[in-house]
Structure 1
Amino acid sequence: MLSIKKFAAIDIGSNAVRLLISNVIQEDSLPARFKKSSLVRVPIRLGADVFLKGEISVENQNRLKDTMLAFKLLMSSHNVVKYKACATSAMREATNGSEVVDAVFKHSEIEIDIINGEEEATIIAATDLNDFLDVNKTYLYVDVGGGSTEFSVIHRAQKVASKSFKIGTVRLLNDMVKKKTWTNLQKWIKEHTSDYDKIDVIGSGGNINKIFKISGKAAGKPLTYFYLSNYYKTLQTYSYEERISKLDLNHDRADVIIPATRIYLSAMKWSKSKHIYVPKIGLSDGIIKSLYYDKVSSNIL
């Protein structure tokens, strides 16, 4: 007996807002399969407001409200049975975050949960990450966002340490990351990886996904530190406009890709890793899995 239901995840990040709709396929006693049906990304960049002025501007409030209404209509058209909307770093730091959540609900009836860094890391851990792990290896998982980056050390397929740092692409673009924060991150990575002979990094986020696609590497194959370092240097030789016109990057990717690459390279350097794997998973995927297994609260349209 085959059963297909659609679940949706809304990820309200500091750089962009995403809607992921997935088919959950159940067949007799077989494990459930998760297949992406639709993915929509809107680069509202809430973090540019919050990290500079402390609150979300009226303009971006209106953009977010309209985006959530559009997402609701899309979910309805897809016959989505369950959804969850999660807001991360920018929304939780905004002085008017709760007001914006209320305004969105009044405009679209979409309920938004503002989650902390630990909840974010837990939801991401619910993804199909284990399918990519070698139980005999140790990994440093790095999920780069606009406002923060989540780090987890995974040994023998078990998470042994996890921490969120306020180092993100939008913060770095606006020169809002203090040297002490970098120092604390370096110390944390070295303390939690020094006991292992070899570490591989797993990279998550739109920027590393883009770099991996550009590399032409086959799925499951890693990028080397040498490749990523050279690409980072190449990016810096082009202006913002040239990254759009000559490197064919989207305008909302052409600026954040440089600070994102810096974060990945720093993590690799401090953990003495030579390789970074890119399984293309993130918060949205984790929300879908968590919804299916009833690990988080859900909403019905």
Structure 2
Amino acid sequence: MSRFAVIDIGTNTCNLLIANILPDRSFETIYDRKLPVKLGRGGINKKILLPEAIERGIFALQSHYNTIQEYDVSKIKVVGTSALRGATNRSEFFEKVKHLLGWDIEIIDGELEAELIFRGVRLSLPNGIGKYLIVDIGGGSIEFILANDNDIIWRKSFNIGIARALETIQLSDPVTPAEILAYENWFDEHLQDLWIACERYEPQTLVGCSGAFDTLMDIYEKAEPDLKIRGVSEFPLGNYQKIHRILILSDHETRSKMDGMDKIRVEMIVIASVFTNFILRRLTIKRLLHTHNALKEGVMDRLISNAV
């Protein structure tokens, strides 16, 4: 049985997926871990990676490298997204990774990222949902994919990730109503193409994948991050709204003690929830689903297809 590994270097986290490849070309996840990197901190809107961000990225990749050595992996794919594709000094990071670990990094553009996210999410969804809107809230970019069962109708990556938002608009602790309005106006200004697409296709279901949505679901279920079996789950809108109200009234210390809170996301989860609430309200979504699957599962699926 073959065993592959995928590393997704995001703006906030560096994610490792190791899977056994099954005879039907599906895969069984045997290891799934994310490490904080915050590559965008202090530099994402200036299109640079600060030295300390590069160090955090290298440290996380070295840790994943050590893990991979324990699993007898035959293929490794490393991809980078928003913070890396936008950084003018990314070659410095690439050269260090190549020298220390021997890995080449594939930078994927926003359109391909959206396609691969759909590919990963689709693996976890049942048929018969109807038209749905996938949302992946990243640190550097946010991807939207409108789909109908197995087909993409429309997709786009927007450079309005949470790390960018936090460096654009000051965030108090706790957030103020005026700041929430400022964030919503900022998001609204950048999402005109989404409003046009959704007005035409009218999705009723929103599928939130990975990242911030994992944390929101863990808070709802009071589950320990990374210690539960994940698939696709119903996220009752009323329960989400209760969590949202708690988050926007909370300070950093309170959030850090919440059951289910991922320590990586204590800082950014408030704005991620402000964004989610804004989208749900703006599009009058009727149903909210959550799946852990996202980019790295899509990259794994592509890696398997290319290996056959």
How does the TM-score come out when normalised to structure 1?
0.87
Deviation for aligned residue 1:131: 4.7
1:87 maps to what in 2?
Answer: 80
User: In structure 1, how many angstroms separate the alpha carbons of the residues matched to 2:200 and 2:40?
Assistant: 36
Deviation for aligned residue 1:49: 3.3
Alignment match of 2:267 (pick from 224, 230, 255): 255
Structure 2: segments with no counterpart, 5+ residues: 170-182, 223-229
User: In structure 1, how many angstroms separate the alpha carbons of the residues matched to 2:12 and 2:124?
Assistant: 28
Q: Deviations over 1:231-283 (max 9, x none)?
A: 11101222101111244523321111111122222222232212111121111
SS of alignment partner, residue 306 of structure 2: coil
Question: CA distance change for structure 1 residues 232 and 18 in 2, over 3 Å: closer, same or farther?
Answer: same
SS of alignment partner, residue 99 of structure 1: helix
User: In structure 1, how many angstroms separate the alpha carbons of the residues matched to 2:12 and 2:156?
Assistant: 20
User: In structure 2, how many angstroms separate the alpha carbons of the residues matched to 1:229 and 1:256?
Assistant: 17
1:101 maps to what in 2?
Answer: 94
Alignment match of 1:143 (pick from 125, 132, 136): 136
Q: Deviations over 1:41-60 (max 9, x none)?
A: 21110011332543112222
How many residues in Structure 1 have an aligned counterpart in Structure 2?
A: 288
**Contact in 1 for aligned 2:124/2:232 (Cα 8 Å):** no
Moved more, 256-265 or 113-122: 256-265
**Contact in 2 for aligned 1:88/1:114 (Cα 8 Å):** yes
Alignment of 1:43 with 2:43, yes or no, is: no
1:292 maps to what in 2?
Answer: 304
1:167 maps to what in 2?
Answer: 160
SS of alignment partner, residue 203 of structure 1: strand
2:214 maps to what in 1?
Answer: 209
2:188 maps to what in 1?
Answer: 182
2:279 maps to what in 1?
Answer: 267
Moved more, 255-264 or 57-66: 57-66
User: In structure 2, how many angstroms separate the alpha carbons of the residues matched to 1:184 and 1:211?
Assistant: 24
Alignment match of 2:63 (pick from 54, 61, 70): 70
**Contact in 2 for aligned 1:154/1:160 (Cα 8 Å):** yes
User: In structure 2, how many angstroms separate the alpha carbons of the residues matched to 1:130 and 1:113?
Assistant: 23
Deviation for aligned residue 1:149: 0.5
Q: Deviations over 1:126-149 (max 9, x none)?
A: 225155143461101111111110
Structure 1: segments with no counterpart, 5+ residues: 297-301
Alignment match of 1:56 (pick from 33, 42, 49): 49
1:299 maps to what in 2?
Answer: none
2:197 maps to what in 1?
Answer: 192
SS of alignment partner, residue 233 of structure 1: helix
**Contact in 2 for aligned 1:20/1:284 (Cα 8 Å):** yes
Alignment match of 1:226 (pick from 213, 222, 238): 238
The one-letter amino acid of 2:215's match is K
Question: CA distance change for structure 1 residues 124 and 263 in 2, over 3 Å: closer, same or farther?
Answer: same
Moved more, 141-150 or 46-55: 46-55
The one-letter amino acid of 2:141's match is S
Question: CA distance change for structure 1 residues 207 and 281 in 2, over 3 Å: closer, same or farther?
Answer: same
**Contact in 2 for aligned 1:225/1:265 (Cα 8 Å):** no
1:5 maps to what in 2?
Answer: 2
Q: Deviations over 1:155-174 (max 9, x none)?
A: 35311111111121212222
The one-letter amino acid of 1:201's match is L
How does the TM-score come out when normalised to structure 2?
0.85
Deviation for aligned residue 1:180: 5.6
Alignment of 1:119 with 2:124, yes or no, is: no
User: In structure 2, how many angstroms separate the alpha carbons of the residues matched to 1:198 and 1:121?
Assistant: 17
User: In structure 2, how many angstroms separate the alpha carbons of the residues matched to 1:290 and 1:271?
Assistant: 31
